[in-house]
Amino acid sequence: MLTQIARSMTASSGRNELSGRYGGEEFLLVLGGATPPHALRHAEALRAAVARYPFTLPNGATIAVTISIGIAAAPAHGTHCETLLGAADDALYRAKATGRDRVRLASSATAEHSAESRAIEQRERARTATH
């Protein structure tokens, strides 16, 4: 089933998009240059497509699958991968906590945390640049 989800994500990826399995049952989709509203629309379309798709099990039976999606956007939620992944992960867990089969954008609380993380990242870049 995870392979089928990965294939559908790869098939629907556009020119400025990268997708793949991130670990366990999690996937990562990077939408280059996308605004948060565009990312929300794209994620909602992906969520709905997965819910409609009949996934085939090895025994031939088909089942319905739902997904939850967390979204973070640069630079609002961070500028480094780790910060953006953390913000998206927080949004994903909020989606799961509010009933699953949902799409959530990183919250303002996450954005505040990300602002702090960006300051740390800037200090780290400055320190690294001097060494």
- Residues known to be catalytic: 25
In this structure, the chain runs to a length of 131
Residue with structure tokens 């961070």?
Answer: 78
On whether the CB atoms of residues 2 and 22 are closer than 8 A, the answer is no
100-29-124 Cα angle (round to 5): 105
In this structure, is the dihedral angle defined by the CA atoms of residues 62, 18, 43 and 106, taken in order, positive or negative?
A: positive
Q: How far apart are CA 110 and CA 93, in angstroms?
A: 12
Q: Which two tokens stand for residue 74?
A: 């640069």
Distance CA 77, CA 47 (A): 22
